[in-house]
Amino acid sequence: MRNDADQTPAFDMVLFGGTGDLVMRKLLPSLYQAHAAGLLNKDGRILGLGRKEWDREQYLAYVEEHSRKHIKECFTEADWQQFCDRIEYLRVDAGFPEHFPPLAEKLGEMVPGRSVVCYLSTAPEFFTPICENLAAVGLNHPNVRVVLEKPLGHDLASSNEINDAVAKFFDEHQLYRIDHYLGKESVQNLTAIRFGNALFEPLWRREWVHNVQITISEELGVEGRGGFYDHTGALRDMVQNHLLQLLCIVAMEPPASLEGNAIRDEKLKVLKALRSFDVQDVATKTVRGQYKAGAISGGGVPGYLEEAGIPPTSTTETFVSLKAEIDNWRWAGVPFFLRTGKRMPERLAEIVINFRDVPCPLFPSPVGQTANRLVIRLQPDESIRLYFLAKEPGDTMNLQPAYLNLDFNAMFKVRRADAYERLLLDVIRGRLGLFMRSDELVAAWRWVEPIMHAWEHSTTPPKQYTAGTWGPAASSALLSRDGIAWHEES
């Protein structure tokens, strides 16, 4: 067992919404995995907060029933019991200031080097009262860190309102706006591929890159969350955060260091360089879709309008594709195509870098085949494929596509931390690089807002696509106008 506990300071992990789904399914299992791997300091406590008048034994019984089953690997009864020894419970209702002095008493005096992590696994409307009540009892000292779970608002104004309110009580370096996608091992590898290998850097620019495609697709539908999803949609749920963060990592300049602000400074430059949309751009450079009944994995599934909790006249998008352009020296003229959707053929996240053809080809290219392509797959498996043309065996000089394949699971036979585990450890250690800064959030909302507003005022409904397909035909047409096709179509 690896033991890096000396790298992790003593901590108190305070989980607001401690009986909620996120805590049970993700946070406690992730903390268990870190504990079992020897990554948590022995002097680390986990304090679940909730409205129920429970004692510690009742809370542990609830954890046993609702969280233990979500642990996928490295489970032993001994580790589980040791992990449970870390857990305590306290009744705290975010709306009752009188509940916070007992919390401060429970945590005790500030100890140098010991971090207090307050994870706000609650609805956003509770962020401000929680932060205000924490500050009122002195729990905003420099050792306190606050994790804000998304969604951080539904538009720029509401996002600014939350950030401004929280900033009254905590400094920016104490705020960790979490996007679990940035904690994925594969996303971390994307940064390493870009900046750890001299092979790619000379080619990673407009002179050699023809276009970039970034896709996050899901087989699932709304899965019983219709009421939430219908007020959110794919643009807010996926593009404004996950897809834009991947675009930033692909497009940003090398940071001066791996320090948090150095990385975030470079991502912010990309967001600010994104060309803004006007009404005409939204009409010609974006596609919004909504799935109708179809089949996934051989089984029939209902359309979006037939899902529970969805109004029959809903125009909420379940699919988005768009053409983004970055107005800077490195990427001018290179289109970035972003795509996400529900009820698509497979669960997939990948980045495709299509390089330009050789300037003076000596050989005829195989009909319908594309070479000079780097495919970085982030999920469900993690791999890198470099496609190129090679001579086929025989006495001719005919070329055929070939590829080099790197499968990370096969290459590295070690345990892989999940996204929340890595991010929770980073918060405990005070590492900000994988968390969004407020100015990043503002820039991302500012870029997507013209699209949101145009769609909200449009009388044209979303384009229908059959569940189990790659989206509306208009999505393919979006690329074909530039003489390009999506990776799976070429």
- Quick one: tokens of 107? 């945590």
**Of 69-83, 143-157, 338-352, 408-422, which gets the smallest average pLDDT?**
408-422
pLDDT tens per residue, range 181-234: 888 888 888 888 888 888 888 899 999 999 999 999 999 999 888 888 999 999
Q: Is 242 part of the annotated catalytic residue set?
A: yes
Alpha-carbon distance 483 to 322, whole Å? 15
Q: How do 294-296 and 399-407 pair as beta strands?
A: unpaired
Alpha-carbon distance 489 to 345, whole Å? 13
- The 10 Å CB-count burial string (b at 16+, else e) for 6-18 is eebbbbbbbbbbb
SS3 120: strand
Instruction: With cut-offs at 50, 70 and 90, classify the pLDDT of residue 6.
Output: very low
To which residue do tokens 């962020």 refer? 127
Q: Is residue 4's pLDDT more than 70?
A: no
How many Cβ atoms from other residues are within 10 Å of residue 35's Cβ? Answer: 23
Instruction: With cut-offs at 50, 70 and 90, classify the pLDDT of residue 7.
Output: low
**Closest by alpha carbon to 268, among 215, 328, 216?**
328
Give every CB contact of residue 61 below 8 A, 6+ residues apart in sequence.
Answer: none
Q: Is residue 31's pLDDT more than 50?
A: yes
Alpha-carbon distance 7 to 14, whole Å? 20
Q: Is residue 314's pLDDT more than 80?
A: yes
Instruction: With cut-offs at 50, 70 and 90, classify the pLDDT of residue 337.
Output: very high
At 85 the pLDDT is 97
SS3 84: helix
Q: Is residue 387's pLDDT more than 70?
A: yes
Q: Is residue 153's pLDDT more than 90?
A: no
Distance, first Cα to last Cα, the chain? 45
Average pLDDT over residues 355-379: 78
Q: Is residue 468's pLDDT more than 70?
A: yes
Q: Is residue 355's pLDDT more than 60?
A: yes
Q: Is residue 12's pLDDT more than 90?
A: yes
pTM reported for the whole predicted model = 0.92
Give every CB contact of residue 473 below 8 A, 6+ residues apart in sequence.
Answer: 463
- Quick one: tokens of 189? 């590898």
pLDDT tens per residue, range 398-442: 888 888 888 887 888 778 788 899 999 999 999 999 999 999 999
3-state helix, strand, coil in the chain (%, to 5): 40, 20, 40
Alpha-carbon distance 71 to 16, whole Å? 21
User: Percent of the chain at pLDDT above 70?
Assistant: 97
Q: Is residue 5's pLDDT more than 70?
A: no
In eight-state DSSP terms, residue 223 is T
Catalytic residue among 242, 453, 457, 487: 242
At 3 the pLDDT is 47
At 59 the pLDDT is 97
Q: Over the chain, what is the mean pLDDT? A: 92
At 421 the pLDDT is 94
